[in-house]
Amino acid sequence: MSECRNCGRSELHDLGPIGQVQPFFLKRVFGLEIRAPRSPNALKQKIRDIAAIPMSFFSQVTGRFAFVEMQLCEHCFFIQTKVPFHDDDIMHLYADYRSPSYNGERIRYEPEYASIAAAIGQDQSEVRTRRSALTAFLGRVLRTSYSDAILDYGGADGRFIPDIPGTKFVYEISSMEPIPGVTRLTSESELGTYSIVLLAHVTEHVTHPLKLVRKLGTYVKPGGYLYVETPQEISDQQRVELQNSASRLELGIHEHINYYCTPAVRSLLEAARLDVVAIEDEVVDLGWTTSVHIRALGRKPLTA
């Protein structure tokens, strides 16, 4: 039986094949390309090539995509693919994430990526905006100014860790060097327990966010905090229209395979037995784009 991979419930509403899988994702994750087959017979191939000219012209205008079935959870409004991807396959997207080989291959599939490749995750205004917003949020909602150790899970080189006291660690599988003052851990066996664990811009990328958040809960000290930040890419209104079949919206499947909203983030924390201390959303200007970010802080009970 299928279940919501965000909250664990099983009331799922089928949205139909509206998940538009981007060609770069197909190539990287499954080694798949969409094109017309070639004939082993030279004459037949020649005829096919001639016949295909209008079609290839047409496909350049409209594009051709593979679509996957999507589901919306009627409990938390999380949107997921009906058939889950495997994380081992998804990881093919990130092996050389944002390195020259990654950017080169992606630009072959998405020429428009060239203009933003250098900016994503590097743009100083994105770093400043995300870090200062998180520092301000924690300043408002943390019930203590004390933190002994902070872990940013999947946190690149640690540049997004907020400006609060405490020893700073990043768990990162790519080979990125950490910034000064941050220690990089590369194996889960090196992880300990922390007063704050940060999970920013990860849950929209993974197949089973609830499994990940439950696991991260074990790295949080009793009374400590788990912070989740994720974008909201379609509005609450668009979500209602999808649910009522009153929309022709198609949802891109690329780096992001899940679609979040505030109730989904709240349910994710609650399903992992964390108390939601604060949750908010805000439109943020990242320099290369504007986006709505949902921020939430969950607290691990002192006694399990």
| Least Cβ distance, residue 6 to Zn ion (angstroms) | 5
Residue 249 CA to residue 247 CA, distance in Å, equals 5
187-193 long-range contacts (CB < 8 A, ≥24 apart) are: 191/151, 191/219, 192/149, 192/219, 193/149, 193/219, 193/220, 193/221, 193/224
Q: Does 29 bind Zn ion (CB under 5 A)?
A: no
Say which residue the tokens 């087959």 belong to: 37
Q: How far is CA 198 from CA 73, 193, 229, 272, in A?
A: 25, 12, 8, 15
Give the closest residue to 153 by CA, choosing from 201, 103, 113, 114: 201
Q: Does 210 bind Zn ion (CB under 5 A)?
A: no
Single out the segment in contact with Zn ion by CB under 5 A; choices: 15-23, 70-78, 212-220, 275-283: 70-78
Q: How far is CA 5 from CA 82, 90, 196, 232, in A?
A: 10, 16, 24, 17
Q: Does 272 bind Zn ion (CB under 5 A)?
A: no
| Least Cβ distance, residue 126 to Zn ion (angstroms) | 29
Q: Does 4 bind Zn ion (CB under 5 A)?
A: yes
Member of 73, 138, 228, 297 binding Zn ion (CB under 5 A): 73
Residue 22 CA to residue 165 CA, distance in Å, equals 41
Angle CA(208)–CA(68)–CA(245) in degrees, nearest 5?
Answer: 100
Quick one: 168 or 266, whose CB is closer to Zn ion? Answer: 266
Single out the segment in contact with Zn ion by CB under 5 A; choices: 65-73, 163-171, 246-254, 295-303: 65-73
Quick one: 28 or 75, whose CB is closer to Zn ion? Answer: 75
CB 162 within 8 A of CB 135: yes
Q: Does 242 bind Zn ion (CB under 5 A)?
A: no
Quick one: 93 or 265, whose CB is closer to Zn ion? Answer: 265
Quick one: 22 or 80, whose CB is closer to Zn ion? Answer: 80
Single out the segment in contact with Zn ion by CB under 5 A; choices: 2-10, 113-121, 178-186, 288-296: 2-10
Single out the segment in contact with Zn ion by CB under 5 A; choices: 3-11, 26-34, 154-162, 173-181: 3-11
Quick one: 7 or 200, whose CB is closer to Zn ion? Answer: 7
Three-state SS at 135: helix
Query: Of residues 112-131, which lie at the interface with Zn ion (CB under 5 A)?
Result: none
Residues in binding contact with Zn ion, number by CB under 5 A: 7
Distance of CA 218 to the CA centre of its chain: 21
Q: Does 259 bind Zn ion (CB under 5 A)?
A: no
Instruction: For the chain, list the strands marked E by DSSP.
Output: 12-21, 66-73, 79-81, 149-153, 167-171, 182-185, 194-200, 220-232, 251-253, 275-285, 290-299
Q: Does 194 bind Zn ion (CB under 5 A)?
A: no
Member of 15, 21, 72, 76 binding Zn ion (CB under 5 A): 76
Query: Of residues 77-106, which lie at the interface with Zn ion (CB under 5 A)?
Result: 78
Single out the segment in contact with Zn ion by CB under 5 A; choices: 73-81, 105-113, 124-132, 143-151: 73-81
Record the tokens describing residue 96, joined without a space.
């050389």
* Contacting positions for Zn ion (CB under 5 A): 4, 6-7, 73, 75-76, 78
